[in-house]
């Protein structure tokens, strides 16, 4: 059986878990923290989570994990069959991760972990986040899903990255990113109603106690 390594507060872990739940694939969870121990590095070369253990070996990186799940269980699809539409979903996933999530992440130490981030970093993140969100706004359709008529892997990534980026933006820059993404509030409501996303929230609640 597939085994997903990670922990319920990790948004990347939750992206992989939502994909498994959406597809109805049986899997077990291993409560695993990121680690630089040799044992874990032999499973996940950067020591990050998620890591999906299969009968053939391990897969890391959310895009690769979702691609694998799509290949072993095509239905329900999380990627469009049409080549162009599928590329557009991958494009959105990259934009969300590189230009929104990773930029916001630079401020996580202050927003989530009680640390401090320099004013210079904050200024840079404020600017790059605005640029990143504007690029997502140009790509997003919210019709009603982020890439169009169907729920896709881009909705999964967006649902687990925009909220965290917005927490950074609201806390440090007093700016609601959803205001810069027309249609996103309705989309978020729709995505939050899915059983897979509800299950994630439930396990997060349980983990926080
Ligand atoms: N690009 C990776 C990102 C995974 C990631 O950054 N996971 C975080 C937890 S949310 C992690 O393991 N951080 C520990 C580290 O960066 O060493 C993916 O798509 O899976």
pLDDT one-digit tens code per residue, 102-150:
999 999 999 999 999 999 999 999 999 999 999 999 999 999 999 999 9
The mean predicted confidence, pLDDT, of the chain is 97
Residue 81's pLDDT band (boundaries 50, 70, 90)? very high
CA-nearest residue for atom 16, ligand 1, is 48
The label of the residue with tokens 């699809």 reads 77
Residue 78 lies in a domain: no
Q: Is residue 200 situated within a structural domain?
A: no
- Ligand 1 contacts CB of residue 151 (under 6 A): no
Q: Is 40 in the pocket of ligand 1 (CB under 6 A)?
A: no
The residue segments making up the domain with residue 91 are 83-194
pLDDT in tens, 21-67: 999 999 999 999 999 999 999 999 999 999 999 999 999 999 999 99
Torsion from C-alpha of 165, 37, 63, 179, nearest 10 degrees? 0
Q: What is the CATH number of the domain that holds 55?
A: 3.40.30.10
Confidence class of residue 208 from pLDDT cuts 50, 70 and 90?
Answer: confident
Q: pLDDT at position 66, please?
A: 98
CA of 127 from ligand 1 middle (Å) equals 23
Mark whether 24 and 111 lie in a shared domain: no
Using a 6 Å cutoff on CB, does residue 67 contact ligand 1? Answer: no
Local confidence band at 97 (pLDDT 50, 70, 90 cut-offs): very high
CA angle 29–195–153, rounded 5-degree value: 75
pLDDT digits (tens, 9 = 90+) for 163-179: 999 999 999 999 999 99
Instruction: Judge whether 52 and 26 are in contact, CB under 8 Å.
Output: no
Question: Are 33 and 106 part of one and the same domain?
Answer: no
For ligand 1, atom 1, the nearest C-alpha belongs to 61
- The residue ranges of DSSP E strands in the chain, in sequence order, are 2-6, 27-31, 51-54, 57-60
Instruction: Answer yes or no: is 202 within a domain.
Output: no
Query: What is the domain count for the chain?
Result: 2
Residue 9: pLDDT over 90: yes
From 17, 34, 97, 200, the mutation candidate for ligand 1 (largest count of ligand atoms within 8 A of CB) is 34
What pLDDT band is residue 209 in, cutting at 50, 70 and 90?
Answer: confident
Ligand 1 binding pocket includes 161 (Cβ within 6 Å): no
């Amino acid at each position: 059986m597939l085994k997903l390594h990670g922990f319920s507060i990790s948004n990347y872990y939750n992206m992989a878990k939502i994909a498994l739940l959406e597809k109805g694939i049986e899997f077990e969870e291993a409560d695993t923290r990121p680690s630089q121990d040799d044992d874990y590095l032999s499973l996940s070369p950067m020591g990050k989570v998620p890591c999906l253990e299969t009968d053939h070996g391990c897969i890391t990186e959310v895009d690769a994990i979702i691609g694998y799940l799509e290949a072993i269980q095509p239905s329900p699809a999380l990627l469009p069959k049409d080549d162009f539409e599928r590329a557009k979903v991958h494009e959105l996933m990259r934009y969300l991760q590189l230009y929104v999530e990773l930029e916001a992440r630079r401020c996580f130490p202050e927003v989530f972990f009680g640390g401090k981030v320099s004013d210079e970093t904050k200024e840079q993140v404020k600017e790059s986040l605005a640029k990143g969100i504007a690029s997502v706004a140009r790509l997003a359709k919210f019709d009603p899903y982020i890439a169009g008529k169907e729920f896709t892997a881009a909705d999964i990534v967006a649902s687990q990255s925009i909220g965290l980026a917005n927490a950074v933006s609201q806390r440090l820059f007093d700016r609601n990113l959803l205001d810069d993404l027309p249609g996103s509030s309705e989309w978020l409501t729709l995505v939050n109603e899915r059983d897979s996303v509800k299950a994630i929230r439930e396990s997060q609640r349980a983990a926080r106690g």
